Amino acid sequence: MTSSPTEIGRRPELGGRFAPVPDEIDAVDLPVEGTLPPELTGRYLRNGPNRLPGEEPGHLFTAHGMLHGVRLREGRAEWYRNRWVRTRALEGHPFLSEAGVDLTAVPANTHVIEHAGRLLALVENGLPYEVDRALGTVGPCDFGGRLTTAMTAHPKTDPDTGDLHFFGYSPFPPHLTYHRLSADGTELTSREVAVAGPTMMHDFAVTAEHVVWLDLPMTFQWERMATGMPFGWDEAYGARLGVMRQDDPACAVTWFDVDPCYVFHVGGASTDAEGRVVVDGARYAPADVGVMWGGPVPGDPAAAAAATGAARMHRWVLDPRDGSVCETTLEDRGVEFPTLDESRVGRASRWRYAIADRGARGERAGAVVKVDADGTLTSHELGPDVTAGEAVFVPSSPSGTVSDRAEDDGWLLTITTTRDGRASRLLVLDATDVAGAPVAAVTLPRGVPAGFHGSWLPDPRA
């Protein structure tokens, strides 16, 4: 039995805080409350969906990408600007045609990262689009013709090698392809990974030694094409996590069956001293998938009645020695968009950061939260009328090594938006004291629609 993906992106999500802005603007000398740390000198960029004026609403996930940027320098907020990512999809080219799939006719609306000197706007069903530091679109990027599949919006940079790990999934065989791009962007290695079918794999994980795959029961279904989001829950598909060694490109994947669920976003992963792979992520139970994605999902009636549609921080411990899996829910408050200190990608880490949209009792309550490895949660409450976007961690001393500072010694940057969509701020929180008052808040010249993911791009060091 499957569920129809009609709810997410179609209810109030196309109004209020999700309402698109109609134009591109520039503003300078932005008002600042508090004091911006002078170390925050660079650009905060965030990507998200924003349809063109006059377009049919369609599905939130398929709207054109728009970048929002704030330039900070030496305690000042110099400018804000927003720009559409000018893809072939924005120009009206179809993604699917008799000629096949056009990997450049995509919305590029999900993430923006920097690798090897290039800024890339990402979406998981096509090629990345390169943009410049003023947010102008350069064009599609296939790394010199070497990338021939779609690219996930959630690549992982190894903090030691600088290599970029990513993948592409497809409704057509091969359904999953792994890629590794060198730190200088010149060498790309790829391999097919066998999965059970056309799964919607939004994210994955890496450790220093492994790649971890999420082969979960949200699958591509042709009959869903008319909904604008052709994926639905497939009870018969099963759920498993796969562990693949990085040092042997031809090695087999070790698969671990897990309780049925869906995961949009991984919070972090590492290999522990006993060789077990530990993965944290925002996990949707089957009943919550039904509420979140739209339509019923079979399961325990009591669980279905209690479902809120929210994900919860969850941990899987996978033991390759005996094939065992241990699953633990770390915190019961619904959260999404988990992040961590990027210098600890694939390594043991204590802290995760995330956002919440509901309180512990289910009431409307926006918050930025900090989750300890033991599941203890601390929150910066925004109240019922303000919501937060993904919180990006910026270390206090980017030029130093991880050992030079405490793991949470830095700031969290997030764009907050009122639920009516009328006003937004760039909020700066002290990551060591998330519950405390903001370090600074930059008033933005317009309401910024709730979006997806972003990055902090520090100015190059002299």
Q: pLDDT tens, 122-155?
A: 999 999 999 999 999 999 999 999 999 999 999 9
What pLDDT shows up at residue 308? 83
Instruction: Mention every residue, 6+ apart, whose C-beta is less than 8 A from residue 81.
Output: 24, 25, 26, 27, 68, 69, 134, 135
Ordered structural domains, the chain, with CATH: 12-458 (2.130.10)
**This prediction's pTM:** 0.94
Burial 200-223 (b: 16+ CB within 10 A, else e): bbbbbbbbbebbbbbbbbbbbbee
Which is higher by pLDDT, 331 or 154?
Answer: 154
Tokens in use for 15?
A: 């109004």
pLDDT of residue 292 exceeding 80, the answer is yes
CA dist., res. 85 & res. 120, Å (int): 10
CA dist., res. 338 & res. 412, Å (int): 12
Please, are residues 449 and 415 in contact by the beta-carbon 8 Å criterion? no
Query: How many CB atoms lie under 10 A from the CB of residue 41?
Result: 17
Tokens in use for 391?
A: 């919180």
Query: Facing residues of 327 across strands?
Result: 316
CA dist., res. 151 & res. 179, Å (int): 9
* Max CA distance (Å), the chain: 61
β pairing state of 336-339 and 76-84: unpaired
CA dist., res. 7 & res. 109, Å (int): 19
Tokens in use for 36?
A: 């911006």
Nearest to 267 by CA among 229, 235, 313: 313
What pLDDT shows up at residue 2? 40
Query: Which of 133-137, 153-157, 234-238, 316-320 shows the lowest per-residue confidence on average (mean pLDDT)?
Result: 234-238
CA dist., res. 415 & res. 264, Å (int): 20
Q: pLDDT tens, 28-71?
A: 999 999 999 999 999 999 999 999 999 988 888 999 999 999 99
Percentage of the chain exceeding pLDDT 70:
94
CA dist., res. 33 & res. 352, Å (int): 26
Mean pLDDT of 264-287: 96
Annotated binding site: 154, 202, 265, 453
Annotated binding site for Fe cation: 154, 202, 265, 453
What pLDDT shows up at residue 230? 87
pLDDT of residue 355 exceeding 60, the answer is yes
